[in-house]
Structure 1
Amino acid sequence: MTEAPESAGPRAPHAPGTPCWVSLMTRSADAAEEFYGALFGWEFRPGPLGRPVRASLGGLEVAVIGQLPPDAGLSAAWTPYLASDDVDLTAERVRLSGGTVAVGPLDAGDNGRVAIAADPSGAVFGFCTAWTHPAPPRGGGPGLPAWNELRTASAVRVTTFYARVFDYEAEPPSAPDHITLRSGGRPVVALRGMGQALPRALGAHWLPHFEVTDTDATVQQVLESGGRLLEPAHDTPYGRVATVADPQGARFGVVRKIGTVPRPRG
């Protein structure tokens, strides 16, 4: 796990590989809006064609929520987008490094140029040029993205792939097969090798974490709203963390960072 990328005011160009966006593809976007609106206080506005919708908090755009085609046979999932100075070049690096480019590169309006790919372990991620809308303030805040973590069978095996694609520098492992990658001199994403503990049916996947004021209370709210608890709340050097799934099965983490005051329980 690692801290979320920091920025202030309008986004300046991101260092390559810095998480700059997150999107949810789900079977019922309406149900997802209701769930995440109640959980994080997000507000929503439709995109140019109605879907996908954009989620915002306090005037800051947080995420995109889109609807899966009914016959796609895909599971609901969150996908992080990583910054790229040149999406076409990054796509070529993905291919040459053993990954697969599934969508794009293509132009996406004010999102710039985007593509969606999978690393050699099958974990799906996107990459795009600089986002043009205001970014969360330094240090984030409740309801905003906190960090992104790749869960895979072996972190060591995919570290070289991400380093080649985004010029990351790897920190010494903080735990066996737990590797933090740096861009622009600071930590931006984490890779967590799970070995046989990685769910076989799920496979390698990226897991976004969102900041909350009270991890335990948020988990309870997720359960009361029809979601599931996947990893109970526990204390880490970064704060109190839990892994949950929304009612449609999309997985994400919640974290109360160290120094955050828990909200009163009702």
Structure 2
Amino acid sequence: MSRVTANQPGGTPTWIDLDVPDVERAKEFYGAVFGWEFSAPGAGGYTFALLRGSRVAGLRPVPAPASPRPPRWRVHLATDDCDATARRVAEAGGTVTAGPLDKGEQGRSALAVDPGGAAFGLWQGGTLLGCELVNEPGSLVRNDLVTPDPAPAREFYAKVFDFTLDANQDMPDADFTFLRRPDGHEIGGIMGVPEAPAAAWGTLFEVADTDGTARRAVAAGGTAGEPEDTLYVRMAGITDPFGAVFQVGARPPAARAS
């Protein structure tokens, strides 16, 4: 278990949320899959997903999208100065699509798109630090960017967040680069996949049982790919009733304890 008690260093994935046309249906699905409970709706109907009373994600009600592009869980990267980071996004070739703006006492945020078209958010925590639990079943464990053109993405995120870039020696045949904060901590990575239809940040949730979680997702009205063992986790891709794609993964018990 990892409980977050302070704002994360700049560039760290710190919050995730999902735009949905039907919050009640989303609550049914994600409650069945992860055992989440939910807060009462706040401003604009925004609803927090709770794991043992701690906030782990958000649901935002929006009209059904006109675009055929499927929705995605949105990752928000931490910043201690949202306005300054938003300026760096623009200077590095990205686009700020909303904000920066205050979210009451909870924090200050902006939404952006990188040069390859991948959407992400910025979060300067106030009373909401971000995800209050991570790296345990039912919570966020990892975000990676998948893109058909990784070179501009690597340059962009390094400029905005001062990341260093390292190859993954465990995966010599993959076009994968670790993103590391200035303190050396790995926050995710960039995977070059030429056949990817679009650039997008992916979200991986920790689970205790990948196969069981996939079965619950199907029973709750979603779809699931066949679970498979990877180098680090047993993983399955899941699509929720609205078409949002995410992944779940179970690490070996020794890895979860570390």
Q: TM-score, normalized by length of structure 2?
A: 0.89
Match of 2:178 in 1: 180
Q: Residue deviations 1:47-101, cap 9 Å, x none?
A: 4336110111012100110111246547432100000111111111111111111
Q: Residue deviations 1:137-172, cap 9 Å, x none?
A: 5x7211010101111113233111001111111122
For residue 77 of structure 1, give the secondary structure of its aligned residue in structure 2: coil
Equivalent positions of 1:100-111 (< 5 A) are 100-111=95-106
Separation in 1 of the partners of 2:21 and 2:44? 15
Quote the offset at 1:9 in angstroms: 5.0
For residue 38 of structure 1, give the secondary structure of its aligned residue in structure 2: helix
Query: How has the CA–CA distance of structure 1 residues 141 and 53 changed in structure 2, closer, same or farther, with 3 Å as cutoff?
Result: same
Unaligned runs of 5+ in 2: none
Note if contact 1:24-1:64 (Cα within 8 Å) is conserved in structure 2.
yes
Match of 1:69 in 2: 63
Quote the offset at 1:224 in angstroms: 2.1
Note if contact 1:118-1:124 (Cα within 8 Å) is conserved in structure 2.
yes
Does residue 1:252 correspond to 2:246, yes or no?
yes
For residue 117 of structure 2, give the secondary structure of its aligned residue in structure 1: coil
Quote the offset at 1:185 in angstroms: 1.9
For residue 46 of structure 1, give the secondary structure of its aligned residue in structure 2: coil
Note if contact 1:27-1:76 (Cα within 8 Å) is conserved in structure 2.
no
Match of 1:128 in 2: 123
- Alignment partner of 1:144 out of 139, 145, 164: 139
Note if contact 1:41-1:143 (Cα within 8 Å) is conserved in structure 2.
yes
Quote the offset at 1:192 in angstroms: 1.2
Equivalent positions of 1:222-261 (< 5 A) are 222-230=217-225, 232-259=226-253
Quote the offset at 1:241 in angstroms: 1.1
Query: How has the CA–CA distance of structure 1 residues 67 and 9 changed in structure 2, closer, same or farther, with 3 Å as cutoff?
Result: closer
Separation in 2 of the partners of 1:239 and 1:220? 17
- Alignment partner of 2:23 out of 29, 35, 46: 29
Give, as a single letter, the amino acid of the residue that structure 1 aligns with 2:251: K
Match of 2:81 in 1: 86
Match of 1:194 in 2: 193
- Alignment partner of 1:215 out of 210, 235, 238: 210
Aligned-residue CA RMSD in angstroms? Answer: 2.1
* Paired residues, number: 249
Separation in 2 of the partners of 1:229 and 1:154? 27
Query: How has the CA–CA distance of structure 1 residues 121 and 87 changed in structure 2, closer, same or farther, with 3 Å as cutoff?
Result: same
Match of 2:36 in 1: 42
Note if contact 1:244-1:253 (Cα within 8 Å) is conserved in structure 2.
yes
Match of 2:51 in 1: 57
Give, as a single letter, the amino acid of the residue that structure 1 aligns with 2:177: I
Give, as a single letter, the amino acid of the residue that structure 2 aligns with 1:157: P
Separation in 1 of the partners of 2:190 and 2:4? 28
Note if contact 1:16-1:167 (Cα within 8 Å) is conserved in structure 2.
no
Match of 2:157 in 1: 162
For residue 64 of structure 1, give the secondary structure of its aligned residue in structure 2: strand
Give, as a single letter, the amino acid of the residue that structure 1 aligns with 2:139: L
Identical amino acids, percent of aligned pairs: 38
Query: How has the CA–CA distance of structure 1 residues 128 and 85 changed in structure 2, closer, same or farther, with 3 Å as cutoff?
Result: same
Quote the offset at 1:136 in angstroms: 4.2
